[in-house]
Amino acid sequence: MDRYLNREDAGRVLAQALSDYAKLPNILVLALPRGGVPVAYEIALALKIPLDVYVVRKLGVPGHEELAMGAIAMDGSMVLNDGVIRDLRISPEAIKRVTQAEKMELERRVQLFRGNQPQPEIKNKIIILVDDGIATGATMRAAIAAIRKSQPEKIILAVPVAEKVTCEKMSELVDEMICPLKPVYFNAVGAWYENFEQTSSEEVCELLEKSCHWTRRSN
């Protein structure tokens, strides 16, 4: 396998690798929206375990927003890329402006995807943390740092693709890492999918709703 058909295909591949965790009572799949949700849905469906979302926002470099200088998670945790900030001489004021804007967007997305639900119950649980791939790793590092504060039993990072060096670095932050594709020359996450259309907010909400229905029926 050198590419995935789409996010659903990637999720099914990951589900096979995670089959030992099927139907465990103290386990939760957490997806980073939006692109991580279709991947995580297939994992949760195959393993018959609950699915929830964990909202994280990248802090983009002003004028070059695709480049991450850090990220914030929905519990308020923040991770900064000191190397990027130092090399590009980004001022504390600029970081503060970007952070404030992204916090507003993060809060909007939490309300959109989770409504008034309480934070996911993480303590003493096995957490399978999922995205559709890892580029810089800033958002994932923020998610891991925030989740770690809640004292899970174990964090399993499951992503379809990430650069080999990135995988090695990220694996040091979690208890287990599943990543079937580890290219040396990465380019971008979308390059490893035949179909990588943007996941809509409506699709995220629909998959979360479907997940709730089948989880209730299977319990």
Output the DSSP codes for 52-114.
EE--EEEEEETTEEEEEEEEEETTS-EEE-HHHHHHTT--HHHHHHHHHHHHHHHHHHHHHHH
Q: What's the pLDDT at 69?
A: 92
Does the structural domain 7-56+123-218 have CATH classification 3.20.20.70? Answer: no
Per residue in 115-164, pLDDT tens?
888 888 999 999 999 999 998 888 899 899 999 989 999 999 999 999 99
Per residue in 69-97, pLDDT tens?
999 998 888 889 899 999 999 999 999 99
Both tokens of residue 51?
A: 């699915």
Q: Decide if 124 contacts 152 (C-beta within 8 A).
A: yes
CATH 3.40.50.2020 range(s) for the chain read 7-56+123-218
Looking at every residue in the chain, the average pLDDT score rounds to: 92
Side-by-side strand order, sheet with 56-61: 56-61, 64-73, 78-80
Q: How far apart are CA 162 and CA 167, in angstroms?
A: 6
